[in-house]
């Protein structure tokens, strides 16, 4: 068991990885912690892995994982979390923009009783319109949807209690949503300003298209946070609304026929009412199927629908 595990996902960072690791090891070593650094090469096609191999030979605290292809940052972080043995897990980017010295104050903040500390790049050294503006939009949307108001969900520098983050299953591109998922599980979350520096080399992997990924992830998180264990409430509510709208359409059609003697042949309200009723019934059925699937999911795996943060007392009778 280590005090600290630092997970660093990298993709085509041959120009920066050596300086990042050297600076990180220097910052961690000065604290006297028992630590490890785990580099996860997410299928780099440049000389990043060659650099990592050389660093592993030089530093006994360094371990590495190499993917067969590019799986994305979420997969890289998941692999790092599964291998980490530290009580606290720290994540940071491999491009040199995060300052390893900030790890000390983030861990100090965790000692105030927080389960997760998020970094806030208050003075970003990125292109304002291409990176900063989309990021602020995404942060506002995520905060609005999840109820956890953070200024910088996208900051790669984060500290987690290991027992918390290891219980969170990540899929797709959900890594930016970890604070919200942790908050949903009852974690105490804090955010502090961190230093942000110019990129040391290589090119940014993010652009405006990421805003669409954020929107899709938001819908997924909202469903999982509010309706995963009760899908009928989600689909059933939508189905019931459409069913009521279909009744309104049929009522309008009856009024038109009885009081205004309108010919019903090809009447749009007939088509609209029938369509809404069919879709509404399908959504209710989908919700019922979801309820069956959720029960199978939990009962077959004997999986609880809750997280236990702490237990007291023995179990022996």
CA-nearest of 71, 43, 79, 38 to 55 is 38
Q: What pLDDT was estimated at residue 264?
A: 74
Q: In whole angstroms, what is the distance from residue 243 CA to residue 33 CA? A: 62
How far is residue 156 from each of residues 18, 61, 126, 195, measured CA to CA in Å?
Answer: 18, 21, 14, 12
86 forms beta bridges with: 2
63, 37 contact by CB (below 8 A):
yes
Token digits of residue 312: 């007291």
Give the whole-angstrom CA distance, residue 93 versus residue 155: 9
pLDDT tens by residue, 19-46: 999 999 999 999 989 999 999 999 999 9
Residue 224: per-residue pLDDT = 67
With cut-offs at 50, 70 and 90, classify the pLDDT of residue 59.
very high
Q: What is the DSSP string of 291-313?
A: HHHHHHHHHHTT--SS------S
What would the mean pLDDT of 85-91 be, rounded to a whole number? 95
List, for residues 104-145, the tens digit of each pLDDT value: 999 999 999 999 999 999 888 877 777 788 888 888 888 888
In the chain, where the domains are located: 2-226, 231-300
The pLDDT value recorded for residue 317 is 41
pTM, rounded to two decimals: 0.76
Query: Alpha carbon 274 to chain centroid distance?
Result: 40
Contact 119, 194 (CB under 8 A): yes
Element (H, E) at 69: none
Specify the CATH number of the domain 2-226.
3.90.550.10
Residue 237's region, left for phi above 0, alpha for psi from -120 to 50, else beta, is alpha
């Amino acid at each position: 068991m280590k005090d600290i595990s630092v997970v660093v996902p990298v993709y085509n960072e041959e120009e920066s990885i050596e300086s990042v690791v050297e600076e990180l090891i220097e910052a961690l070593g000065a604290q006297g912690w028992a630590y490890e650094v785990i580099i996860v090469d997410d299928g780099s096609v440049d000389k990043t892995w060659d650099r990592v191999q050389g660093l592993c030979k030089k530093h006994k605290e360094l371990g590495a994982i190499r993917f067969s292809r590019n799986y994305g940052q979420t997969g890289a972080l998941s692999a790092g979390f599964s291998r980490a043995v530290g009580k606290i897990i720290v994540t940071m980017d491999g491009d040199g923009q995060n300052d390893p010295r900030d790890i000390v104050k983030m861990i100090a903040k965790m000692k105030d009783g927080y389960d997760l500390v998020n970094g806030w790049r208050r003075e970003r050294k990125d292109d304002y319109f291409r990176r900063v503006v989309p990021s602020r939009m995404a942060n506002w949307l995520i905060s609005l949807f999840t109820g956890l108001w953070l200024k910088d969900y996208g900051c790669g520098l984060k500290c987690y209690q290991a027992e918390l983050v290891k219980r969170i299953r990540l899929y797709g591109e959900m890594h930016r949503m970890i604070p919200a998922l942790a908050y949903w599980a009852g974690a105490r979350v804090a955010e502090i300003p961190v230093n942000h520096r110019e990129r040391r080399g290589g090119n940014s992997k993010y652009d405006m298209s990421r805003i669409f990924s954020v929107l899709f992830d938001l819908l997924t998180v909202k469903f999982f946070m509010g309706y995963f264990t009760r899908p009928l409430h989600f689909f059933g509510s939508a189905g019931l609304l459409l069913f009521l709208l279909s009744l309104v359409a049929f009522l309008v059609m009856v009024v038109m026929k009885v009081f205004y003697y309108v010919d019903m042949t090809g009447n749009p309200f007939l088509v609209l009412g029938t369509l809404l009723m069919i879709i509404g019934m399908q959504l209710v059925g989908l919700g019922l199927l979801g309820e069956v699937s959720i029960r199978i999911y939990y009962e077959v795996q004997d999986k609880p629908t809750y997280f236990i943060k702490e237990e007291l007392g023995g179990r022996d009778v």
